[in-house]
Amino acid sequence: MVRTLTGALLLIAASFVAGCCANSDQIGRNSSNSETLPTGNESCGHRYYESDFPIDSRLYEHPWLALFGYKQKDIVSYVFQGLLIHPKYVLTTVFVAQFRDLGQLTYVRIGEHNTSTVIDCEKQHSKEETCAPVVQTIHIDEVIVHPDYNMFRQTNDVALIKLRLPATFDGISVAPICLNRDSDMQSSFLLLTSWCGRRETGLSLIPKQYFMKAITPFECQRLMPHHTISLASEMFCIVFDERHTQSNDVEQEPNLRGGSGAPIYTVHEGNRILLIGLLSYGPRYPAKLHEPYIITPVAPFYNWFSEIIEGDLEKSMYTTST
């Protein structure tokens, strides 16, 4: 599900793409324990691979990608994504944070890759099979929505998910992503990653990875002539890059259903991944390949992220000392 553009407003929050093929399982295991590890600019966003970006993501390609679990009675359904930016905080959109159709947002899975396997293993470069550590399933402690979030204009569409226990970073299967802090930064090299897929095929078992390109507000409005698009707070529009729009097979066409909260990122200095923004909303399913998606940038909110996290750390230190 990607939130949809509707009518004269950017979006009426109650209107979502219908249907969902979330991955579900019975509750039957305890959340794993972890300890806080220090994070800094020198330890974020490092790529495991030196080159290429295949559509089907590889093991260890997105160690910062988190998957959310919604609990309804004894069933937990995993759908939508966020980004690990701190051992105890995951960044996502307000839609994901407040989604209730599948129950209460209760868990975050860290270090997930293939949602159909308990242990993720993969052969790399014709070598022996490599297996990742067990996925960390962590209870959510608190959902923090940006105080200036506007449901109708869809501005300030960011939320922080505080984990009850800190995630364990190993730098390979679990690591934080780097956050862009420069509001003036522009990049022609953009990608998007998500567990997503067509309604007919269900959500992908492993994250899909697509090249995207930014378009001007004028072009965005031209492609969505029946909608009024207000790109406040430096929000911007993206469409699929041409390399993904040439297929004649509908089943092979990219589709971002299930992509809410997906990262839009680029490659920065030292082969590091830099988070540019989050997929906020897009066209109603089934979207046409040329239709745009609206992105909430992270740079304008960097100070807010820092204030929340630093305030929590100070509170924890005070509580511990007393």
Which pLDDT score, from 0 to 100, does residue 127 have?
75
Q: For residues 107 and 32, is the Cβ–Cβ distance under 8 A?
A: no
Which pLDDT score, from 0 to 100, does residue 15 have?
28
Which pLDDT score, from 0 to 100, does residue 153 have?
83
Any idea which of 124-128, 223-227, 288-292 has the lowest mean pLDDT? 124-128
What is the arithmetic mean of pLDDT over 81-87? 97
Q: How far is CA 64 from the centre of its chain?
A: 9
Q: For residues 84 and 66, is the Cβ–Cβ distance under 8 A?
A: yes
State how far the Cα of 212 lies from the Cα of 198, in Å rounded to an integer.
18
State how far the Cα of 100 lies from the Cα of 95, in Å rounded to an integer.
9
What is the share, in percent, of the chain residues with pLDDT greater than 90?
61
What confidence tier does 262 reach under pLDDT thresholds 50, 70, 90? very high
Per DSSP, the residues of 16-47 read --S----EEEE--SPPPP-------GGGS-B-
Q: Where are the alpha helices (DSSP H) in the chain?
A: 94-98, 217-223, 302-321
Q: Which tens digit of pLDDT belongs to each residue from 179-191? A: 999 988 888 899 9
Domains of the chain: 65-320 (2.40.10.10)
Query: Residues with Cβ < 8 Å from 128, sequence gap 6 or more?
Result: none
Sign of dihedral through CA atoms 275, 37, 87, 131? positive
224 pLDDT higher than 70: yes
Which pLDDT score, from 0 to 100, does residue 5 have?
44
Any idea which of 3-17, 202-216, 247-261 has the lowest mean pLDDT? 3-17
What confidence tier does 8 reach under pLDDT thresholds 50, 70, 90? very low
Which pLDDT score, from 0 to 100, does residue 41 have?
55
Q: Which tens digit of pLDDT belongs to each residue from 95-150? A: 999 999 999 999 999 999 999 999 999 987 767 899 999 999 999 999 999 999 99
Any idea which of 198-202, 208-212, 301-305 has the lowest mean pLDDT? 198-202
Cα-based angle 44, 270, 109 (whole degrees, multiple of 5): 30
16 pLDDT higher than 60: no
State how far the Cα of 79 lies from the Cα of 113, in Å rounded to an integer.
13
Cα-based angle 130, 131, 134 (whole degrees, multiple of 5): 165
**Token pair recorded at residue 234:** 């430096």
320 pLDDT higher than 80: no
Q: For residues 68 and 80, is the Cβ–Cβ distance under 8 A?
A: yes
What confidence tier does 21 reach under pLDDT thresholds 50, 70, 90? very low
